[in-house]
Structure 1
Amino acid sequence: MLEQERSGEVIDLCRTLIKNKSYSGEEDKVAQVLRGYMEKAHFDDVQTDKYGNIIGHIKGRKKGPKVLFDGHMDTVPVEDETKWQYPPFAAEIHGDKIYGRGASDMKGAAAAMVAAAGFFAEDSDRDFAGDIYFAGVVHEECFEGVAAREISRIVKPDYVVIGEASNLNLKIGQRGRAEIVLESFGKACHSANPEKGINAVYKICRAIEMLKKVKPRHHAVLGDGILELTDIKSAPYPGASVVPEYCRATYDRRLLTGENKESVMEPLKNALTEIMREDKDAQYKISYAVGQEKCYTGNCIIGERFFPGWLYKEDDEFIENIIAELNAAGFSPEITQYNFCTNGSHYAGEAGIKTIGMGPSKENIAHTVDEYIEIDQLIKVTECYNAIMKALLK
C-alpha cells in the first residue's frame, strides 16, 4: 500500500492540476506545475517540445527499454458553471471524491503517473534496466494522437501506458475514428425558377442514401465499424429565395484494426462515382476533415482527422508480464478495450509501439457536470503504475 505521506502528495498534485484551468491550447499552467514537480522529484531532464508537450525523463542505471507514460493535460470546456454542485476549478474534496473539470479525464491519472515514476526511481535508487518517461500532452481532446507524434519522435518509446480512465482495468485496444466530409456542388438560382439551377441539397440527399448501403465490417473483439451522419449544412445559409449551390455533410467513422485511409475511403468513392455516372449534374467530393488549432507555444498543430484502431492479444508476452505484476501487487484487472479514442491511435495504431491503457475512474464520468475522481482509485492506480514499471523494466 502507498504510505500516507505519498498518498497525500498524489492527492495534492491532482488537486493543483485541477485548479489550473487547461482547455485545449491553454495547457501552459498545468505544464508549469508538472515541470516543477518533476524537477523537485529529481527527474534527469525535463523538456518542452514545439507544441507544448512536457516530457520528463528518469534514466535507469542499466540499459533496457523506454517506457512512456502518456497523460494529456487538456480538458473539454465547462459550458455552464452554475450547473455544477461544486466549483469546477476548486478541486474540492467531498466524501471520498475530488471534484472538478479534468479530475477523471485525466488530471488524476497524470498526477499518479508522474508521482509513481518519481517514487519508483527513489525506491529503486534508479537500479533498473531502461528509461522512464512521462509526457504531459496537449490538444488530445481535439486530435487524438497528433501531438503524440512529436513525443514519439523525441522519445522513441518501446512501451506506452495511456492513462485514460479504465476503472483500474487493463485496456489492450480501441476502435479508432475518422471524420469524413462529403461535399455536393450545384448551381445557384432564384428559388422561383428552380429548373435553372442545380440544388446541391437534393444531390447530397441521394449520396447520403447511397452511402447508407456501404456497411463497414465487423471485428470479433472491437465490434462494428460505424459510418454515421452527424451534421449537414447548405450554402448560402440562410438561403432565402436561393437554390443552394453547395452542401456539406460530416460523418463519424469508427475504425477497426486493419483499416487504413485508402480502405475506408474506397467504397465511399465508388458509391459516389456510380451516382455521378448516372446523373451528369451530380458533383461530389469526399475527404477526411483537417483540423488546425493553436498551441500555447504559439505554434499551430494541424492534423487530418484519421485516428487508427489498435488491439493486442491477451497472451502477448508484455501483457502477461504486466498482469503478473499487477496480480502480485494485489490487483485483479479485467482485460478489455476502450470504447473511445485515445492517443494510442498514434502509438499503437500508427507507430506499432506496444501500448496498454490503465487509469483511475469510470469511463463515463469524463466530460460530465460534477466530474470527479475517487481518492481510493487515485491512490490505487499509483500503485498499479509502479507494478507496470516493475514488469517492463526488469
Structure 2
Amino acid sequence: MESKDQEVISLCQEFIRQQSYSGHENHMAQVLAQYMKTNGFDSVYTDKYGNVIGSIKGNRPGPKLLFDGHMDTVPVADTSEWTYPPFAAEIHDGNIYGRGTSDMKGALSAMAVGAKRFAQITGKDFAGEIFIAGVVHEECFEGVAAREISTYVQPDYVVIGEASQLNLKIGQRGRAEIIVETFGTSCHSANPEKGLNAVYQMAHVIEAIQTLIPPHHDILGNGILELTDIISSPYPGASVVPDYCRVTYDRRLLVGETKESVLQPLQELLQNMMKQDVSLKVQVSYSQGSEQCYTGNEIKAERFFPGWLYDTQEAFIQAAYQELRRDGFTPQITQYNFCTNGSHYAGEAHIKTLGLGPSRENLAHTVNEYISIEQLTKAVSCYTALMKALLK
C-alpha cells in the first residue's frame, strides 16, 4: 500500500480511537490540532465551543475555502453488538471499522491530509486560504457550532464532508423541532369531572394538526410534519388527571421556509380551535436545546435548521464538477437526505456551499459502521481537486 494512502488511513484510525461523543470531543480535538501543527498549517485555533480550525495560506490573495467536518459521534449503545470493537479502528477486507468512520472522521482525516498535500504540491503557490474545521456538537445541533466558525473564518466557499460516495451534494431539507403544549386542570381521577384532562385536549389538537399539509418542493420533496413523542404530567399519573401534555413534531424544512412561515399555519389552526372551545389552552413553539461543551462553555439554540439548494449550473458547482472530472472522478450532482452544518453556512449565512464526502449515507449511526479504504483515499484526491477548482 502506498505511503501517501497510509497517511490518511493512519490518521483516520487515530481519530476513531478517540471516543468523541457530543460534548466530549477533547481528545479528538487534541489529535487533530497536533496533526495540523506538525504538518505545515500556518495557524491552529480552538474557539470557545472547542471547534478546531487550522489554516494554510496561499502566496497570493484569493478566496477563503472552508472544509467542515464534525468531530462528534452518536454513542455506541451496546459494544457487544459489534463484530469488531467500535473504537479499535481495525481493518478487515479493505474497510476500517468503528464509530465515526463514515460519520464523519474519515472525511475529516481526508480533508486534513488533502490540505497538507495541496500545500506541498503547489509549494503554497495558490490564491487564497484553506481552512479545515473539526466541529463539535453537530449531532445535537446542525449548524449551531458552525456559526462560530463562519464568524471567525468568513469563508467564501464551504465544503461539507458528510458521506456522499464522493458525489457532489448541492442541497438538503432542513429540520425543525416543534413543541405543542396543552394545559388542563388537575384533579383526582376518581372525580375526573372536577378537572380538565390535558391529554384529551391534546388528542383533539393532534387530530386537527393531521389535516395540515406541509409544502412540497419539486427537487427536495415534501416538507414533513411528523409526531415523534408525547408526554403528560404528572407522570406517572397515579390517580391524577394530567394537567399538562406536550407533543414534539419533527418538521422537515424546504428552501425559503422561515421560522415565522413554518409556525403560522399551526398558530392559525390552534387560535381557531381555542375560539371554538374556550376551555382549550394550547400553544406552539420551537424546542430549545442546551448542551455542555468540553471547553466548559454552554452551547444552546432554538432547534430550527434551514434547508438550502443550489442550481446545478451555479459557477462554483460547475467549477468543482469539471475539476473532479478532469481528475478522473465521475460524480453525480444530487442532494443530501439528512440535515448537515450546511443549514448554517448555506441556509442561514448564504455562503456558497457544497457537500462531498467518502462512504455511504446509510452507514451513519449504525452498528458495525465502517468506511472503505478505497473511498477514504479517493476522498483526499477529491478534496485537492476542489481546492484547485475554487482557489483561483
Shorter-chain TM band: over 0.9
Q: Give the aligned partner of residue 385 of structure 1.
A: 383
For residues 114 and 304 of structure 1, what CA distance do their matches in structure 2 show?
31
1:161 pairs, out of 159, 165, 174, with: 159
Question: Of 243, 246, 250, which aligns to 1:245?
Answer: 243
Deviations 1:215-248 (A, max 9, x none): 1110000000000000001001111211110000
TM-score by length of 2: 0.99
Partner of 2:189: 191
Q: Which residue does 2:70 correspond to in 1? A: 72
CA distance in 1, matches of 2:149, 2:43: 14
Work out the CA distance in 2 between the residues paired with 1:53 and 1:240: 46
What is the Cα deviation at residue 42 of structure 1?
1.1
Deviations 1:357-385 (Å, cap 9, x if unpaired)? 00000000000000000000000011000
Report the Cα distance in structure 2 between the residues aligned to 1:334 and 1:23, rounded to whole angstroms. 32
Residue ranges of structure 2 left out of the alignment (5+ in a row)? none
Alignment of 1:108-119 (within 5 A): 108-119=106-117
Query: 2:186 corresponds to which letter in structure 1?
Result: A
**Equivalent position to 2:123, from 118, 122, 125:** 125
Partner AA of 2:284 in structure 1: I
2:82 to 61, 81, 84: 84
Give the superposition deviation at 1:213: 1.1
Aligned length in residues: 392
Question: For each residue in 1:74-119, what CA deviation from the matched residue of structure 2 results, as whole angstroms up to 9, or x when unmatched?
Answer: 0000000000000000000001000000000000000000110010
Deviations 1:341-364 (A, max 9, x none): 000000000000000000000000
Q: Distance in 1 between matches of 2:352 and 2:381?
A: 21
Q: CA deviation at 1:195?
A: 1.1
What's the secondary structure of 2:138's corresponding residue?
Answer: coil
Q: Which residue of 2 aligns with 1:31?
A: 29
The one of 7, 10, 16 equivalent to 2:8 is: 10
Amino acid of the structure 2 residue aligned with 1:307: F
Higher mean C-alpha displacement, 254-263 vs 188-197: 188-197
Partner of 2:372: 374
State the Cα distance separating 1:194 from its structure 2 match.
1.0
Shift of 1:5: 1.5
Which of residues 300, 309, 312 is equivalent to 2:307? 309
Give 1:156-235 correspondences, 5 Å limit.
156-235=154-233
Distance 2:29 2:234 in 1: 43
Cα displacement (A) at 1:145? 0.2
Q: CA deviation at 1:298?
A: 0.2
Task: Give, in angstroms, the shift of residue 122 of structure 1.
Answer: 1.1
Kindly report which structure 2 residues correspond to 1:30-49, keeping only aligned pairs within 5 A, or say none: 30-49=28-47
Give the secondary structure class of the aligned counterpart of 2:295.
Answer: coil
Q: Which residue of 1 aligns with 2:54?
A: 56
Offset of residue 50 of structure 1: 0.1
Q: How far apart are the structure 2 equivalents of 1:358 and 1:69? A: 10
Secondary structure, counterpart of 1:262 in structure 2: helix
Letter in 1 for 2:256: G
Once the two structures are TM-superposed, the CA of residue 4 in structure 1 deviates from its matched residue by: 1.6
CA distance in 2, matches of 1:168, 1:80: 30
Kindly state the Cα deviation for residue 294 of structure 1 after the two structures are TM-superposed.
0.2
- Report the 3-state secondary structure (helix = DSSP H, G, I; strand = E; otherwise coil) of the residue aligned with 2:270: helix
Task: Look up the match of 1:344.
Answer: 342
Task: Tell me how far 1:59 sits from its aligned partner.
Answer: 0.6
The CA RMSD measured in Å over matched residues stands at 0.7
How far residue 308 of structure 1 moved from its aligned partner, in angstroms, is 0.2
CA deviation after TM superposition for structure 1 residue 214, in Å = 1.2
Q: Which residue of 2 aligns with 1:296?
A: 294
**1:112 alignment partner, SS class:** helix
Aligned equivalents of 2:167, 2:87: Cα separation in 1: 28
Which of 302, 326, 329 does residue 328 from structure 1 map onto? 326
2:269 to 265, 268, 271: 271
Counterpart-to-counterpart distance in 1, 2:354 and 2:155: 13
Tell me the CA shift for residue 132 of structure 1.
0.3
One-letter code aligned to 2:265: P
Amino acid at match of 1:17: F
* Equivalent-residue separation in structure 2 for 1:240 and 1:95 (angstroms): 55
| TM-fit CA distance, 1:289 | 0.3
Q: Which amino acid aligns with 2:58?
A: G
Kindly provide the amino acid, as one letter, of the partner of residue 270 in structure 1: E
Matched position secondary structure for 1:338: coil
SS for the counterpart of 1:110 is: helix
